[in-house]
C-alpha cells in the first residue's frame, strides 16, 4: 500500500462553499468564520504536502496499528446460510475504535498550525478518549467538554481522559449531554480562536469539518477495498456501517463511492422502535426528522414543529445524536446510499451472537451494523460478500449490557 491513504479528489463534494447538494455549509456566528477559513486553508495546504501524509501514515502504522485486518466471520456466515460476512476490524485500532484516525489527523494539523490548545466535546467519552490519547502522544494541551449527565454515566472514560492528561470540563446547561457540550465547545472556540484548535469528532459541523473528518476516516475504506479484493477476489455486494454522526460509515463508504454494484448501507439507532419516538433514526422517522440546522451544518435534524431539538435515545451512546452528517443526507437523497435502522433489542442480540460465534465482542454501536448483516445475509446468495465495519470493541459497553440482560 502507498503512503497516500487519505483520498482527496478535487471533483469530490463538498463544493467550495462546503455543500453536499443542499446539505452542509456553514451556519455559525460571524466571529467563527475567519477561524474556519484559516482551518480550511491550513488543511488544504497539509493535504498537498507529502510530508504531512508521511507523518500521519507513519503514526497510523506504528501507533494506531494500521492497517487493521479484515476477518471472515465464518461461523456466523455458515449459520445464516447466505452471504459471506467480512468484518473490518476498527475495534483493533489503538483505543479500540475508529475515532483515533480522526483525532491523530486533526492533532497533526493543529500542531502544524501552531495551535497548542485543543478543545473537544464528548458524549459517551469515546471521542474524548481518542482525542486525549492523540494529544498525549503529540504533546498538546487538551480540554474536553462533557455534560454532567454523561460524566455520571461514563465514569471509566472520564477517568481515562484524566489519566491521559486531559482536563474534563463539566457542562451543566440544557439536557447536560452531548449537544450542550458541543454548544460550550463552540463558545470556547469563539472566545479563544487565536490559540485554540477545535477537534470535532464526527463528520459533522460547519465546513470544512465534514470533509476533513471524512478524509481522515477514509483510510478505513481505502484499506478495506484493497483487502477484500485480495481475500475474496471481488468487491462486496454491500458495505454496512452504523451511523451516529456518520464518520465511520463515510470513512468506509468513500472508497466505494464509484463502485456502482456495491450497495452502501447505513444503520441508525432504532432505539425502542419508531412508534415509541425514542430513537435516533433521523432518516427513518420523517414525522419528527426533517432538514434543519444544528451545530453549524444543514442536515436532517430531529425536531418538533417549532424547531425544538428532540430528545433521542439509543442503547449505544455513540449513535444517540439528533442530527447526522450532511454527506449522508446527500447520499440518501441521491439514492447512492440506503439507510435503515436496528433497534436496541436487535443490537443487543447481535452483540451476543457475534461474541458467541466469532469471539469478538463488538461495540454496541457496531452491533447495529452486525444486526443488519444478520438480517440481510440469509437473503443473499452464498457467493456474495457483505463487508461490515466493526467500528469499535465492546469492552466499554459491558456495564450497560450487564444491566440490560439482568432485567
Ligand X SMILES: *Cc1c(COP(=O)(O)O)cnc(C)c1O
| Active-site annotation, residues | 99, 121, 391
Q: Residue with C-alpha cell 508521511?
A: 54
HSE, side-chain direction, 13 A CA sphere, residue 49: 13
- For 311, which DSSP code? P
- The residue among 64, 20, 73 whose CA lies nearest residue 369 is 73
105: contact with ligand X by CB under 6 A: no
Instruction: Tell me, residue by residue from 227 to 246, as one string, x for binding to ligand X by CB under 6 A and - for no binding.
Output: ---------------xxxxx
- Please identify, using beta-carbon distances, which residue of 43 and 321 lies nearer to ligand X: 321
Nearer to ligand X, 89 or 380 (CB): 89
Question: Which residues are 141's β-sheet partners?
Answer: 117
Q: Pick out residues in 194-233 that bind ligand X (CB under 6 A).
A: 202
Sequence-distant contacts of 374-379: CB under 8 A, at least 24 apart: 374/76, 374/80, 374/350, 376/82, 376/83, 376/238, 376/240, 377/77, 377/80, 377/81, 377/82, 377/83, 377/85, 378/80, 378/81, 378/82, 379/82
Instruction: Report the C-alpha gap between 46 and 68 in whole angstroms.
Output: 24
Quick check: 224 and 102 in contact, CB under 8 A?
no
Nearest-approach distance from CB 293 to ligand X, in angstroms:
19
Does 365 help bind ligand X (rule: CB under 6 A)?
yes
Which of 18, 105, 128, 392 lies at the binding interface for ligand X (CB under 6 A)? 392
**Binding test (CB under 6 A) with ligand X, winner from 157, 177, 218, 247:** 247
User: Is residue 295 part of the contact set for ligand X (CB under 6 A)?
Assistant: no
Residue 131 and residue 147: Cα distance in Å, rounded?
17
Task: List the one residue from 248, 299, 314, 400 that touches ligand X (CB under 6 A).
Answer: 248
Residue nearest to ligand X (CB): 392
Total binding residues toward ligand X, as defined by CB under 6 A: 19
Which residues fall within 8 angstroms of residue 343, CB to CB, at 6 or more apart? 270, 271, 272, 273, 279
Q: Which is nearer to ligand X, 188 or 365 (CB)?
A: 365
Is 93 near ligand X (CB under 6 A)?
A: no
Our CB check for ligand X shows the closer of 76 and 319 to be 319
Q: Could you say whether residue 391 binds ligand X (CB under 6 A)?
A: yes
Footprint on this chain of ligand X (rule: CB under 6 A): 97, 99, 126, 202, 242-249, 318-319, 363, 365-366, 391-392
Amino acid at each position: 500500500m502507498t503512503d497516500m491513504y487519505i483520498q482527496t479528489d478535487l471533483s469530490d463534494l463538498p463544493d467550495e462553499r462546503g455543500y453536499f447538494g443542499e446539505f452542509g455549509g456553514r451556519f455559525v456566528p460571524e466571529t467563527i468564520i475567519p477561524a474556519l477559513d484559516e482551518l480550511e486553508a491550513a488543511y488544504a495546504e497539509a493535504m498537498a504536502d507529502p510530508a504531512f501524509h508521511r507523518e500521519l501514515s507513519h503514526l497510523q502504522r506504528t501507533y494506531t496499528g494500521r492497517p487493521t485486518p479484515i476477518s471472515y466471520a465464518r461461523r456466523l456466515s455458515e449459520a445464516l446460510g447466505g452471504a459471506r460476512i467480512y468484518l473490518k476490524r476498527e475495534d483493533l485500532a489503538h483505543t479500540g475504535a475508529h475515532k483515533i484516525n480522526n483525532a491523530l489527523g486533526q492533532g497533526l494539523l493543529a500542531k502544524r498550525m501552531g495551535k497548542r490548545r485543543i478543545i473537544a466535546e464528548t458524549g459517551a467519552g469515546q471521542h474524548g478518549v481518542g482525542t486525549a490519547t492523540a494529544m498525549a502522544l503529540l504533546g498538546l494541551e487538551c480540554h474536553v467538554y462533557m455534560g454532567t449527565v454523561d460524566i455520571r454515566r461514563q465514569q471509566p472514560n472520564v477517568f481515562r481522559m484524566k489519566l491521559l492528561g486531559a482536563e474534563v470540563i463539566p457542562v451543566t446547561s440544557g439536557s447536560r449531554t452531548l449537544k450542550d457540550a458541543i454548544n460550550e465547545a463552540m463558545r470556547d472556540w469563539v472566545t479563544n480562536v487565536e490559540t485554540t484548535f477545535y477537534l470535532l469528532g464526527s463528520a459533522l459541523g460547519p465546513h470544512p469539518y465534514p470533509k476533513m473528518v471524512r478524509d481522515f476516516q477514509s483510510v478505513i475504506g481505502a484499506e478495506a477495498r484493497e483487502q477484500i479484493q485480495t481475500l475474496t477476489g471481488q468487491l462486496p455486494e454491500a458495505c454496512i456501517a452504523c451511523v451516529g454522526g456518520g464518520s465511520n460509515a463515510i470513512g468506509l463508504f468513500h472508497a466505494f463511492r464509484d463502485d456502482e454494484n456495491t450497495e452502501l448501507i447505513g444503520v441508525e439507532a432504532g432505539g425502542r422502535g419508531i412508534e415509541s419516538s425514542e430513537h435516533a433514526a433521523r432518516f427513518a422517522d420523517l414525522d419528527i426528522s426533517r432538514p434543519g440546522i444544528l451545530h453549524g451544518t444543514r442536515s436532517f435534524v430531529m425536531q418538533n414543529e417549532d424547531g425544538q431539538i428532540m430528545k433521542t435515545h439509543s442503547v449505544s451512546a455513540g449513535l444517540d445524536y439528533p442530527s447526522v452528517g450532511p454527506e449522508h443526507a446527500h447520499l440518501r437523497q441521491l439514492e447512492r446510499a440506503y439507510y435503515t435502522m436496528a433497534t436496541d433489542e436487535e443490537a443487543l442480540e447481535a452483540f451476543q451472537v457475534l461474541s458467541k460465534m466469532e469471539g469478538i465482542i463488538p461495540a454496541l454501536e457496531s452491533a447495529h451494523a452486525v444486526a443488519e448483516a444478520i438480517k440481510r445475509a440469509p437473503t443473499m446468495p452464498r457467493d456474495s460478500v457483505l463487508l461490515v465495519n466493526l467500528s469499535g470493541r465492546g469492552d466499554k459497553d459491558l456495564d450497560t449490557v450487564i444491566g440490560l440482560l439482568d432485567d
